[in-house]
Amino acid sequence: MHRTVRNGLIAAFIFVLLPICVVLDHQFGDHLRQYIQQSTYPDGDWQKYHNKTFTVVEVIDGDTIDINISDGKHPNTRIRLIGVDTPETKHPTVGLMYYGPQATEFTTSLALGKQVTVLLDTAGDQRGYYGRLLAYIQLPDGRVINAELVKNGYGYAYLSYPHSEFSNYQSLMKEAIDNKVGLWKNATRDDLPKWLRSKRPDLLRHP
């Protein structure tokens, strides 16, 4: 192909086709990714869990719950709430963190014994490092536990991995900090997890 023609085609793609592709992805990308995911993994997590209702049978800590459906060799499925991190209560090396028990109690009061809807996310992985299902958990009244934890100061917006509510949860955390709700009322910088201190060196750093 002649170099002039080739360069013209490249320029046409950059200035004409690429913006069209961006617009189409913005409008239809989520639906297309969802369709591909469902078609590729018809018997996988999406078909099994997404937008389906289960009972919460145990609350492990503020950001981890079990629902009443088997997962491989396990009698229940363990879910790590996506987009939020709550203070540890049972971590083998970190131990008990400030406001960890309160976060666990909050999630327990919202979820234990309740019928909840599991919502998976197309923006990231469906399983975490330990094999736990990553999901948003919607309560019968429409509230999402993940957002409620951040909004009420029982957890932090998790900034290490992408997800669909990334910007929203950052805004919810800022409001919680500004309003000094939950752990943000009395927490010191040393009370924050190491990952958050690294990502947000400005938080609770007083002159």
Q: Which of 132, 148, 189, 197 is catalytic?
A: 132
The confidence score (pLDDT) of residue 11 equals 54
The confidence score (pLDDT) of residue 40 equals 39
Residue 15, pLDDT above cutoff 70: no
pLDDT tens across 111-134, in order? 999 999 999 998 888 999 889 999
Please state the pTM of the whole predicted model.
0.78
Residue 151, pLDDT above cutoff 60: yes
Indicate if the alpha-carbon torsion angle 67, 63, 126, 22 is positive or negative.
positive
Residue 58 annotated among the catalytic residues of the structure? no
| Domains by residue range for the chain, with CATH | 49-199 (2.40.50.90)
Residue 148 annotated among the catalytic residues of the structure? no
Residue 132 annotated among the catalytic residues of the structure? yes
Among the listed residues 63, 66, 148, 156, the one whose alpha carbon sits nearest the alpha carbon of residue 112: 66
pLDDT tens across 157-204, in order? 999 888 999 999 999 999 999 999 999 999 999 999 999 999 999 999
Average pLDDT taken over every residue of the chain: 85
Residue 59, pLDDT above cutoff 60: yes
Residue 83, pLDDT above cutoff 50: yes
Sequence-distant (≥ 6) Cβ neighbours of residue 155 within 8 angstroms: 62, 63, 84, 85, 86, 87, 103, 149
